[in-house]
Each structure stands twice: as C-alpha cells, then as structure tokens.
A = this chain, B = another copy of it.
Amino acid sequence: MAKFEELAATIRQQITAGVWQVGEKLPSLREQTFQSGMSLMTVMHSYQILEGQGWIISRPQSGYYVAPKAEFLSVPKAQNRMAHIGKVDMNAYIFDILQTISDPDIVPFGSAFPDPSLSPLSQVTRALAAVAREITTAELLDYLPPGNFSLRSAIAKRYAQAGVNVSPDEIVITAGALESLNLSLQAVTKPGDWVVIEDPCFYGALQAVEKLGLNAVSVTSDPQSSIDLAALADVLASTEIKACWLMTNSQNPLGYTLSIEKKRQLAAMLEQHNVVLIEDDVYSELYFGQEKPKPAMAYMPQRNSLHCGSFSKSLVAGFRIGWVAAGNYAEEVKKLQLMSTLSTSVPMQLALAKYLSTQNYDRHLRGIRKTLEQRKNLAWQCLKKHLPENVIINYSASGYFLWIELPAAVDASRLCAIMLDHHVSIAPGNMFTTGGDYNNYFRINVSYPWNSREEEAVMRLSSEIRRLENPENIFGYNK
C-alpha cells in the first residue's frame, strides 16, 4: 500500500473509531506533515482521497473537517448484482463524445485519451522515418499473427522489467487493446457462456459481451473499496463462470488500483474456480507512485489468463498498436485475428520496436507521469473550488480520470448534452453500465494543461449542475 493510502486508512479508522467526530476539524496539512513524518504531497494525497470518498470536507481559508456523511461510510457500498446484459445501446453520444477529441473547439473533458501533446511525437516519427528508409520486402511480408518478433520481444522485456515473466511467443500484436479484449473474450468463450465484468466498467467490454452473445454478471465496484471480492466469491460459487474481465490498475472509469493483497485474493479465487482472467491494463504505465503496479495475473501461478496492453494511452494513440499476452490461448487468438483483421501494419510495428530499443520510452514515461500527477492536482483544486459542495470528486493516484458524483437529482446525460452545446464534453456514467445506476455520475479527463479555458469550462459545468439540480428556480428551463 502506498504511503498516502496508509495515512488515509489510518484517518478513516480514526473517524470510524470516533477519534474525530463529525464536524470536527482535522489536523492541517502542515500539522499532519509534521506528525506523520510524511511529505506535504503525500499528506495532500491522503486528504484528497478522503475528501473524494466523502469522509472529510474542506472549507476555504479554514481547513479540513469530518464530513456529516462520514458516519454512513463504514457500511460497505459494494454489492453483488446479477444482470443479463441485453442489447447494449451504442448511444449516439458515445460516438459524439469520442469524436470531440479531434475537434479543437471543444474542451475534451470526455475524451478517453491523454492530451496528445504529451506524446513524444518527434521521437516516434523519427523512428518511423528510419523504418520507412530501411524496410525490406522480407520484413513487409511478415504481416501475419502474432506480429513482428522484435516488437514482441521488446514488450516481453518490459514485462520482465516489471517482474512479470512473459515470453515473446505468448504475445500477439493487435490494433490496440480494444482488439485484444475482443479477441481474448472470443478465445475463451462461446455464445451463451457467463462472464464476470465490473460495474461500472469500460464500455468496450459491455459492447464486446453483447456482440459475442455472452451472459454477464456485473460485480459492483466503487472508487473506495474497488471491486467487491466477497460478492465476486459468491458469484463464482453459484454460477459457472468462464472468464472474468477486469481492470486492476487505474480502473476505467473509477480510477482505483487494486492493492497487492486484493490482487492476490482475486488471483487465488479465480484459480480455485478455474476461471480465466482477462485483464485490461492499458493505464498501468501511468501510476504516480514509486513502482509500477503488477497486474493480477502476476499472482496466478497457473497463469490461466490473458493480459491486454497498448501504447495508445502511454505513448501515442494514432499508431493503433496494442498486444495481448495470451499465454496458452496465443494460438487461438492468432487464429481469430487471422479471421478478422489479419494483422497490424508492419511499418508501425517496426517503428515501435525501434523506439522501444532506446531509453526514450522510459524517459518519456517518467515525464508524463509527473505531468499527469501535477495536472490532476490542479484539476482537483479547480473542481473543488467551483463545483457545488454536494458534488463528490473521487480522486485516484494514477491515470488522468476523475470520477464525479453529482447530486442524485442531476442526470449526467442531460448535463452532457447541455455541455456539448457549450463546447465542453464529459463522459456520463451510463456510458459505463447497463444497469443505469450511474445516471448522476460522470468521468472527467484531466490530462490537459489547466488554463483559463479549462477553468471557465468547470465554472460553466458548475452553473449547469446547479440549474439541473434546481430546475424550479429557472423559469422555463425545462420546456
């Protein structure tokens, strides 16, 4: 557990134990820094987490106080919910929101991708230009699954660097993690099989489940407690589950990263029931701590798992290169790819392999992690400053999303439509669920530089939230 998480846990225990009563003032950041011996940044992270979780509130010019609702938080929120996923409606606005990223006139809070100016564009295009000069006919011929060997080898080396053993032979290069996910699900299931997904989760998983004719049990996850393993255990004991699709690092949209202990428990549980783990790990490079978090599959000795990765979030999106470490399923994944897209552009694979052969990627990652952490903090402060007090901002110490809970009366889809008219996109909660329990949530992308344009967008967001919360105050607004 990271230090800021330890401190947050300690303070939560203290509140639960009554050390700090509702309404009481907590030690200031400075005092806490002094008391805990931790850095100011660590303490700030802890307080942000607690505030995001609703345990404490901050009052400008005054400090942090135990929140009125803190007393209810001891009861775990997560619960098991069974759902047969029916027709997933590819809402028109999902498409609209995704398209906003290429429209320079729209503040892209709804985007799924990090600020593209964070890409080391000149470095990767230099590699591409070199490939274009040097590529041979024989290399161009090597376009069938599993993909270019030097790229697979470079990816295997990155696994090794993170302490995970993966052979290049297990890796299949794909057109991005979305193709990896689709191929992985196809490789281990047949129509009618049951799988477990999280709720809320990446909409691509919902779509894949629907497209492949699978049945899904969704296990509720939340930003505080992450996935409810007790609920998952119930599901595994009562239903014959084929595969479990999860994000254990920087979960999209909630942002949490499972602790090592939870990953171990998850892994043991799945191996006990012989359930395949399909892990979507596209944000794993964008951690804020000291060490790259391992995937849960690293804790599965039998390695009955497929691990999906990508360069789209950590390096450059437009190249469209991802992979899946498919273990024993590699042959099946290759055959499925041969039937669907055949393979991925050879020059792009070679360009990435060339780029990865340098130290540039690690240098770039160190930089982007720092930048994303700074921007997330700026965004957090800005959101806290402007959004209504009853809006909960769930902070997570990795990636570039914040998960926002609006007052129950506010419909985030409605807010989304209104904000698009104001040239601001957000990603409403019902993009990430089929249950519809997240109507008053949205995901915000905070990877962009935090300037007046962003602040104005937040102020507009705030005023629209207030209008939607109290429609009777605004004559004619609902007409």
| Contact segment of A117-125, A217-225, A366-374 | A117-125
Residues of A within 8 A of B (CB): 90, 95, 98-99, 101-102, 104, 116-117, 119, 121, 125-126, 128-129, 131-133, 135, 137-144, 175-176, 178-179, 182, 191, 204, 207-208, 211, 213, 316-321, 334-335, 338-348, 351
Tell me whether A347 and B128 are in contact (CB under 8 A).
yes
Cross-chain pairs A/B with CB under 8 angstroms, 25 sampled: A90-B338, A95-B334, A95-B338, A98-B338, A102-B138, A102-B143, A125-B132, A128-B128, A129-B129, A140-B317, A143-B317, A143-B320, A175-B175, A175-B341, A178-B339, A178-B341, A182-B340, A207-B339, A213-B213, A319-B346, A319-B347, A341-B341, A344-B345, A345-B345, A347-B348
- Which 7 pairs of residues, A with B, have the shortest CB-CB distance? A129-B132, A140-B318, A318-B346, A128-B132, A175-B341, A143-B318, A207-B339
Residue from the list B90, B131, B141, B351 in contact with A102, Cβ < 8 A:
B141
Known contacts A319-B345, A341-B179, A345-B320; A144 and B335 CB within 8 A of each other? no
Report the minimal beta-carbon distance from A36 to chain B, rounded to whole angstroms. Answer: 42
Tell me whether B340 and A178 are in contact (CB under 8 A).
yes
Report the minimal beta-carbon distance from A440 to chain B, rounded to whole angstroms. Answer: 26
Residue from the list B101, B213, B339 in contact with A208, Cβ < 8 A:
B339
Tell me whether B340 and A179 are in contact (CB under 8 A).
yes
Additional A-B contacts beyond A90-B339, A116-B141, A318-B346 (13; CB < 8 A): A90-B338, A101-B141, A102-B142, A121-B135, A141-B317, A142-B318, A143-B320, A175-B341, A213-B213, A319-B347, A344-B345, A345-B345, A345-B348
Q: Is the interface of A mostly helix, strand, loop or mixed?
A: helix
Report the minimal beta-carbon distance from A283 to chain B, rounded to whole angstroms. Answer: 16
Q: Whose C-beta in chain B lies nearest to the C-beta of A139?
A: B318
Known contacts A132-B129, A133-B125, A143-B320; A339 and B211 CB within 8 A of each other? yes
Q: How far is the CA of A208 from the CA of B138 in the complex (A)?
A: 29
List chain B residues, Cβ under 8 A from A175. 175, 341-342, 344-345
Q: How far is the CA of A179 from the CA of B90 in the complex (A)?
A: 20
Q: Whose C-beta in chain B lies nearest to the C-beta of A186?
A: B211
Q: How far is the CA of A319 from the CA of B175 in the complex (A)?
A: 12
Interface-centre pick from A95, A138, A143 (highest chain B CB count, 10 A): A143
Interface-centre pick from A334, A342, A343 (highest chain B CB count, 10 A): A342
Tell me whether A137 and B119 are in contact (CB under 8 A).
yes
